[in-house]
Amino acid sequence: MNNKLLTLVAICLLTISCAKTQKDKQAHLSQDNNQSQNTTALNIPTYKIPKQQADYYKEVDFTKTGPALLSQLAYLLEKTHNPISYTPGIRQALQTTDQDPENKDNVVLLYGWPKGESNALEHQRSINKRYFSKGEQEDSERKKVWEREHVFAKSRAKSNTLKLKGLIADAKGSIPHAAHTRQLAGQDVHHITAINGYWNNHRNNSLFVNGEGNSHKIANYWYPGDEWKGDVARMMMYMHLRYHKSDNYTSADKIGLPIDAKQTTKDGMIDLFLKWNAEDPVSAIEVNRNKYHGNLNNKYAQGNRNPFIDNPYLANQIWGMPQYTADNLWK
């Protein structure tokens, strides 16, 4: 009798335990599903991709979201990347891609201030193409010329797993091999721009931070300016996407300070760049850059495009953050 009673009690306890375990499992799955929806529950429109871009993106399934879309775009950027030399390649390309829309003899300088807001040479927004830096110069002379500079600060790129340190660029003219990630990323035109070297040196390798007004330091951080924050964000998102397979070598969290660290995604994308991407629309210079490099008939074209210039909304489709919803340019 006692044995039968003990057996019944054990069966009851086991039944209750199994039911609780199943309930907890369902609750966990429900929580996971909710988290997934928070990331991907966006309005995914039927895109009308312009004819000149449609062929480039023909193998991408834009009904995908999150990591699935990220992987397809990253593969496309890698496959269509045609490495070019730092000299003369990138220098010559910048004279076309960064040409001042208001003066064909000039290039526009990243971080430059609007005309009339400063008389300081380091704040100039546009400069004649002929005034390219000749190398090491005193600060007083460096303010008068333009240079090609990395927007993703070279020293900030890093991968412990792959034992990769900062970006490198070869001014002697070599073309990076596809397997040489440090030089490939260091000579990637999608984050190298015409710039006033003195003013860029003032930034040094500071992390980007949220702010307002024209480009300036905020403590030990750098605000690129209201006019340039969207350009910078799209460059940094490109770098994040392009080299994510290399152990997130140039991930966004290495180059910017998040507004809310809790919003940082598992792959290291930060809310700062989605905010800037939404607030500062794509500029004519960005469009010109993509148009040039997307056409291999151009002598110094890199071949791939920056998807976030073609359609800023793709950032939301990959990383969510609907509070910073960007324009959909493929309506």
pLDDT value at position 41?
59
**pLDDT for the residue numbered 106:** 98
Residue 32 in any domain: the answer is no
Is the CB of residue 66 less than 8 Å from the CB of residue 318?
Answer: yes
pLDDT of residue 318: 98
**95 inside domain:** yes
Is the distance from CB of 93 to CB of 189 less than 8 angstroms? yes
Report the domain count for the chain.
Answer: 1
Residue 4 belongs to a domain: no
Residue 13 lies in a domain: no
Record the tokens describing residue 120, joined without a space: 């300081």
Contact present, 234 and 308 (Cβ < 8 Å): yes
Residue numbers of the chain with a pLDDT score lower than 70: 1-41
What local confidence, expressed as pLDDT, does residue 72 receive?
98
> Does 23 fall in a domain?
no
Q: Decide: residue 95, CB within 10 A, 0-12 exposed, 13-18 middle, 19+ buried.
A: middle
CB 253 within 8 A of CB 319: no
Three-state SS for the chain is CHHHHHHHHHHHHHHHHHHHHHHHHHHHHHHHHHHHHHHHCCCCCCCCCCHHHHCCCCCCCCCCCHHHHHHHHHHHHHHCCCCCCHHHHHHHHHHHHCEECCEEEEEECECCCCCCCCCCHHHCCEEECCCECCCCCCHHHHCCCEEEEECCCHHHCCECCCCECCCCCCCCCCCCCCCCHHHHHHCCHHHEEEECHHHHHHHCCCCECCCCCCCEEECCEEECCCCCHHHHHHHHHHHHHHCCCCCCCCCHHHCECCCCHHHCCCCCCCHHHHHHHHHCCCCHHHHHHHHHHCCCCCCCCCCCCCHHHHCCCHHHHHHCCHHHCCCCCCC
Instruction: Give the pLDDT confidence score for residue 39 in this predicted structure.
Output: 47
Instruction: Give pLDDT tens digits for 121-144.
Output: 999 999 999 999 988 788 889 999
Which residues form the domain of 300?
Answer: 40-324
Q: What integer pLDDT is reported at residue 50 of this predicted model?
A: 97
pLDDT of residue 32: 34
Tokens at residue 43, please?
A: 């309005």
Assigned domain for 28 exists? no
In a domain, 211, yes or no: yes
**Overall pTM surpassing 0.95 (yes/no):** no
Distance of alpha carbon 75 from alpha carbon 135, whole angstroms: 36
CB 276 within 8 A of CB 315: no
| Residue 34 forms part of a structural domain | no
